[in-house]
Chain A
Amino acid sequence: MRESTTKGPVLNPALDPRDRLRMERAFVLPRARFLLGLPIAAAVLLWSFVGAEFDFAKLGEGAVNMGGFLGQMFPPTWDKLGTIVTLLIETLQMAIVGTVLGTVLSLIVAFGASSNIAPKWLYYPTRWLMNIIRSLPDLVFALMFVSAVGLGPFAGILAMTIGSIGSIGKIFAEAMEAVDRGPVTAMQAVGASKRQTVQYGILPQSSPMLVSYTLLLFEGNVRGATILGMVGAGGIGLELTTAMRMYDYGHLSAIVICIIVLVTVIDQASAVIRRKIT
């Protein structure tokens, strides 16, 4: 076959014979980097197990005590059901307010953290801010706000709101970055402003993901509110901690069952909403 001497794109370049041979084999040997990476990954995992004192034998021995603990929790005592329901409602209210405020703030921050929306001078500082917030546990925020505004659900709401910026803000930004470029190009092509491009090109495309992550945040906040309560930030958490300290296992069991029911109901409702929006 005659070789082309003209310049220009090669329309039908040949496949490297070594690649062809490799692709035709029924069984392909793993690449060197995989063979090298596998023992490294295994070593890191083993190192972590040892460092974290993970011990299957101890788990087996402790299973008996765990069974005893669970046995003490039954039967649950329902004489304080009214208190539990009241505190669960407070927990739910905290989660609702925390989620709404957290979502709004996260969305605002996410605009600054999306590379396809924000200029570089805004993008990087916003990402750093989110990294700092994400590296702090919600309990730290709860303690900080308890000392600032006193004991009660308000401190919990503030902790949830700020905490969600780090986690959900990042996910919002990545959902907005992942949208199809085509409609965004079309918006720019019709002469739309930045705000209009975001409003009509980016948000409608990312809205299913944004709603889905908001529901996830809400579910997380309901569970999180029970933990925040332990440091005095309102909700059912304080009652849960008190029952544990007082060895009131029947009451503790009733609280846990109520939390499970609430979280399951929210999870099912979220699933229905997700199905509707996607």
Chain B
Amino acid sequence: MTNSIMPDETRQPAATSTPTRSAAAEPAAPTTEEMLLHLPLASVKDLTVSYGNGPVVLDGVDLDLYPGEMVALLGSSGSGKSTLMKSLTGFAPIDSGSVRAVGCDMRNLRRGQLREVRASVGQVFQNFNLVGRLSVLTNVLTGALHQAGPINLLGGFTSADRKRALELLERVGIAHKAKDEARSLSGGQQQRVAIARALMQRPKLILADEPVASLDPKMAHSVLELLHSIAREDGIPVLVSLHVLPLALQHSDRIVGLRHGRVLVSAPTDQLAAEDLADIYASDEEESDVDA
């Protein structure tokens, strides 16, 4: 039997600062802001997903994402990480269970509603998915396409959008490359541009699917630190799928481990050690040996 560390129901969001008060004092009523911090911005309950008549990819998965936390999603290839992320943006079919993202039930959304949800969820991809021939600035501006006005019919963006895009490029440390074609940038730089594009959406939630898989270790730390700082400073929950345990332990507030489409581990990172996560990547033979 594998060890499972299951979710702590009484968890506090990472960004929540609990005010200190004397034991004798009356408990103060929580403010609206404090209450919002305790509401998940994305909530997956007992989710089961399969593609057509294929095998079950996700089987009874639960996951809540709270403001200000960075959650690392671990699991070997085929464990269902990408599908779980896709379910939060309506790119995966939902067989049973429920998925709520940024306040919307993801089942039975009309096309327009789905576009609105997607516009509220920033996504960062493993291969960056930038348009190589467009400038860095234009790539960032595409994050504002969902709310671009009539000026966009002529291929333009408003001055306010352009100003914000440049500010975001400054934030991710790459403003000096704004005029360059995206394809001329290094992998780490391109991923920073992709993060700026996601921020341009003014997202309520960020999903990063293996964002450092094609980066060197130094760049990987740098990109994850950037994502973590966004979660902390902007209060945007970030769900990031990773394969490298030390990176997950160093750059996340909570770790969720998937194995064969089921949640095997879900706990705050500071309560976990590398050995607690070993089962996530154990081979089937090893598991069989343990069971025997």
What residue in chain A is nearest B203 (Cβ atoms)? A190
**Chain A positions 192 through 207: 1 when the CB is less than 8 Å from some CB of chain B, otherwise 0:** 1100100111001101
A183 at the interface (CB under 8 A from B): yes
Name the B residues within 8 Å of A2 (CB-CB).
285
B287 and A190 contacting across the interface, CB-CB below 8 Å: no
B152 and A205 contacting across the interface, CB-CB below 8 Å: no
Name the A residues within 8 Å of B115 (CB-CB).
191, 193
B164 at the interface (CB under 8 A from A): no
Name the B residues within 8 Å of A192 (CB-CB).
142, 145-146
B170 at the interface (CB under 8 A from A): no
A207 and B133 contacting across the interface, CB-CB below 8 Å: yes
A191 and B118 contacting across the interface, CB-CB below 8 Å: yes
A200 and B142 contacting across the interface, CB-CB below 8 Å: yes
Partner of B119, one of A186, A190, A204, A207: A190
A193 to B149, CA, bound (A): 12
Name the B residues within 8 Å of A193 (CB-CB).
115, 145
A11 at the interface (CB under 8 A from B): yes
B156 to chain A, nearest CB (A): 11
Name the A residues within 8 Å of B148 (CB-CB).
196
**Chain A positions 1 through 24: 1 when the CB is less than 8 Å from some CB of chain B, otherwise 0:** 010111111010000000000000
A183 and B145 contacting across the interface, CB-CB below 8 Å: no
Partner of A190, one of B128, B201, B284: B201
B145 and A4 contacting across the interface, CB-CB below 8 Å: no
A: contact size bracket: 20 to 34
Partner of B285, one of A4, A199, A208: A4
A92 to chain B, nearest CB (A): 30
Task: Name A197-225 residues within 8 Å CB distance of B.
Answer: 199-201, 204-205, 207-208
Name the A residues within 8 Å of B285 (CB-CB).
2, 4, 6
Contacts between the two chains (Cβ within 8 Å), count: 80
Partner of A6, one of B89, B130, B133, B284: B284
Partner of A205, one of B118, B133, B143, B283: B133
What residue in chain B is nearest A179 (Cβ atoms)? B131
B26 to chain A, nearest CB (A): 46
A14 to chain B, nearest CB (A): 15
Name the A residues within 8 Å of B287 (CB-CB).
6
Task: Name A47-90 residues within 8 Å CB distance of B.
Answer: none
**Chain B positions 111 through 132: 1 when the CB is less than 8 Å from some CB of chain A, otherwise 0:** 0000111111101010111111
B118 and A9 contacting across the interface, CB-CB below 8 Å: no
A185 at the interface (CB under 8 A from B): yes
A185 and B284 contacting across the interface, CB-CB below 8 Å: no
A4 and B142 contacting across the interface, CB-CB below 8 Å: no
Name the B residues within 8 Å of A4 (CB-CB).
284-285, 288
B52 at the interface (CB under 8 A from A): no
B155 and A205 contacting across the interface, CB-CB below 8 Å: no
A6 and B288 contacting across the interface, CB-CB below 8 Å: yes
What residue in chain A is nearest B126 (Cβ atoms)? A182
Name the B residues within 8 Å of A208 (CB-CB).
133
- 20 A-B residue pairs with Cβ-Cβ distance under 8 Å, sorted by A, are A5-B288, A6-B285, A6-B288, A8-B260, A11-B283, A182-B129, A183-B131, A186-B194, A187-B142, A189-B89, A189-B123, A190-B143, A190-B197, A190-B201, A191-B120, A193-B145, A200-B138, A204-B133, A205-B131, A205-B133
